[in-house]
Structure 1
């Protein structure tokens, strides 16, 4: 049995998985979740709202689709670069303080986007926004992982991750409504102040950190871990490595759909920016619902047999391939196409909750934030950064409809990788980490 120490000195027991059995009350735990969700929501609004300004930036600055896609991809690149070191810092320093600092950073970067004097400055400001996000997700995920039991992890982490598609919904919807009336600069700055206020509120949350462990875990806290031992732990299991890669391939498709659907609706349907944003928001809202519903389904299926937690996203990756490739490749613009796109938007997020939950399950509690940082690194660098830019390149070469029909092919790789991970997951859950991994020690 492990012991966690709160900042006020209280000691609490952890179960064998490292989850708190009574760290805080249920009400307090869900209160922290609500605050974390609200802050994550402002982040993804700031991240996604720029897609509503694409038609204005294209006209004003003469940008190509590749350049527009890069404005989204650069955020993912800087998230990937900063994820691991900032997540490790959260494990060593303070998860709560890390969350507050990162939230303040991306809010100030959002203001910088609004003040940009040219394309280069806008790219730089968007990169800074990504640095703020890089440290937030892993720290908040690790904080919540200690407040909720293992049986709820995929549900809670998936619900937190749902702030991504929901923030994207609000970003394209509100952005589409605001940009015509207020201009693109005011639109990009609109949510900076709410994000800053929520970040400061997080300083009132009581922090905790792993202060010691029982016989199944190394007694040294993560803040004293060597980099080599931590990295070895992050890639120790085949399940974790496969989950990193499978989640990245699925997010190539997610980022493609969320970034380029408003522009597709504007060009192929002749919709105005506000209407394109509203229709795209319906698709992204479907993805938010899919994140929660399918994450819960994976948890329920995993309760029957653990490997099913990965079989579920594997199957839905193939369903997504069929829906989106048919929609963009075989059906002309119209209501039937939109129905398929909405359905594909629901299934495309099936892996968002299970992937980080599975990774948390197979690493030591001392490096949970760092493990989520690795998830963030791989998924952003090889997933979210790839989709918008590659789609822009394909669009410039062969048109946006063809690009959107080809990109769902990444679902094949995602399904195969999740299926492989499902075959190793149960064995990695049963394995004693200390028997196969280097000790995480000073």
Structure 2
């Protein structure tokens, strides 16, 4: 029988050995920078739609396909590519992913027609599919459990910030230099960052800074079965709770511009500016709520669940109230406050998944979390609200959307109750002999 080191579980009173702080922060900065590049490359096309429509006489459905093909590839490939990354190597996988999406964005810039552009966008989706799940596994491996909600939330907020930067900067470059230069610029940013990442981040350096509960898996060493990612009731609740709380955040991202245009009589550019502020509030909430959770749960890990429930309840109350108020500045302030908490459980959820999955399949666990966020939240939210809007009007649909938090809260309550048993199950899993 071959023995295995037990993971350092996130238990009350547990302390981690002191480790140098600078390199983990550098790892976070470079990995976060590539995440910004990921979303800048993904969303920049939205800023150049008017130019494409005028130059190639494209229909709205053709334009939508350029965005949907990326989302489709991310949804289809996140889990299998996360599995491959856990086996092939996370650092090598991240480098390859960034090279693919950056070169694909460059191909977008030189596309001669719509077919070539669509094909290049397909490759963008392939490159970006598992970056979020594998990237966060690399980041959290070099940080202690008691700060993982903070850095998990900060990392996931990169999607909001990258989207905002991509649309704003892409639109500026397209107006002054042409839409092709907007895409080329995003490609160059990605390639520069991947070179820096490759020079600084190596598996050997990560191994020197990793924490024991994220131990590197030696070739031929024990690997937990993939079924362990779904047989644990508590981690399943973390997936579901996170996905459902992302439902409303996705609704706000997708439908706020239309809502402001229809019910506040804002012009499209003004509505876009106000919506960008809302996006930044969502991202800021991910970071701040993650930090609050880490402070609250340092000695009582189960409070990760409690704070997540609190964020969901606060967002539900504020958004339900906000969409009932008459149109005006006070209403927007209340909705903005609700947006701040709308994705607040994102950081705690990543910390929960990190604590409840074996190191050998942790990136795949984050892939499962990403899949839940995509299917239950990012994909379902805008689509369901669109269907409801056809029957009830957009305002009526937005008034109902925050009720989804009730499902998220229920899942998190169940997960909290099963959390101690889930940690014991993880310990038992790590004690199993290798084949």
- TM-score, normalised by the number of residues in structure 2: 0.83
User: Take 1:28 and 1:237, find their aligned partners in 2: how far apart are those partners?
Assistant: 33
1:314/1:419 contact within 8 Å kept: yes
2:314/2:341 contact within 8 Å kept: yes
Instruction: Trace 1:383-402 onto structure 2 (pairs within 5 A).
Output: 383-396=377-390, 398-402=392-396
Instruction: Trace 1:342-357 onto structure 2 (pairs within 5 A).
Output: 342-357=336-351
User: Take 1:367 and 1:296, find their aligned partners in 2: how far apart are those partners?
Assistant: 26
The equivalent of 1:327 in structure 2 is 322
The equivalent of 1:36 in structure 2 is 31
The equivalent of 2:417 in structure 1 is 423
- Alignment RMSD: 3.7
Verify: 1:197 aligned to 2:197, yes or no: no
Verify: 1:16 aligned to 2:17, yes or no: no
Candidates 252, 255, 259, aligned match of 1:257: 252
Candidates 426, 432, 435, aligned match of 2:428: 435
Q: Aligned in 2, Cα 1:275/1:414: closer, same or farther, shift over 3 Å?
A: same
**Structure 2: any 5+ residue segments left out of the alignment?**
none
The equivalent of 2:230 in structure 1 is 235
The equivalent of 1:281 in structure 2 is 276
Verify: 1:85 aligned to 2:80, yes or no: yes
User: Take 2:25 and 2:213, find their aligned partners in 1: how far apart are those partners?
Assistant: 29
The equivalent of 1:26 in structure 2 is 21
Shift of 1:197: 1.7
Q: Aligned in 2, Cα 1:216/1:132: closer, same or farther, shift over 3 Å?
A: closer
Greater alpha carbon shift after TM alignment, 431-440 vs 43-52: 431-440
The equivalent of 1:10 in structure 2 is none
Report the number of matched residues.
422
Verify: 1:156 aligned to 2:151, yes or no: yes
User: Take 2:157 and 2:303, find their aligned partners in 1: how far apart are those partners?
Assistant: 21
1:176/1:276 contact within 8 Å kept: no
1:170/1:281 contact within 8 Å kept: no
The equivalent of 2:123 in structure 1 is 128
Verify: 1:207 aligned to 2:203, yes or no: yes
Shift of 1:17: 4.1
Candidates 349, 368, 372, aligned match of 1:378: 372
Candidates 404, 408, 411, aligned match of 1:410: 404
1:77/1:380 contact within 8 Å kept: no
The equivalent of 2:60 in structure 1 is 63
User: Take 2:76 and 2:255, find their aligned partners in 1: how far apart are those partners?
Assistant: 24
Deviations 1:85-128 (A, max 9, x none): 2112222122111111111222233345554844x776655443
Deviations 1:267-290 (A, max 9, x none): 444444443332222111111211
2:105/2:187 contact within 8 Å kept: yes
Deviations 1:315-361 (A, max 9, x none): 22122122223333x23432122212211221011111011110110
1:57/1:63 contact within 8 Å kept: no
Aligned to 1:305, the other structure's residue is in SS state coil
The equivalent of 2:359 in structure 1 is 365
Candidates 164, 167, 178, aligned match of 2:162: 167
Q: Aligned in 2, Cα 1:20/1:275: closer, same or farther, shift over 3 Å?
A: same
Aligned to 1:139, the other structure's residue is in SS state helix
User: Take 1:337 and 1:216, find their aligned partners in 2: how far apart are those partners?
Assistant: 45
Shift of 1:71: 5.7
Aligned to 1:100, the other structure's residue is in SS state helix
Q: Aligned in 2, Cα 1:38/1:112: closer, same or farther, shift over 3 Å?
A: same
Shift of 1:62: 4.2
Q: Aligned in 2, Cα 1:170/1:269: closer, same or farther, shift over 3 Å?
A: farther
Q: Aligned in 2, Cα 1:216/1:370: closer, same or farther, shift over 3 Å?
A: closer
1:69/1:388 contact within 8 Å kept: no
User: Take 2:259 and 2:178, find their aligned partners in 1: how far apart are those partners?
Assistant: 21
**Structure 1: any 5+ residue segments left out of the alignment?**
5-12
- TM-score, normalised by the number of residues in structure 1: 0.82
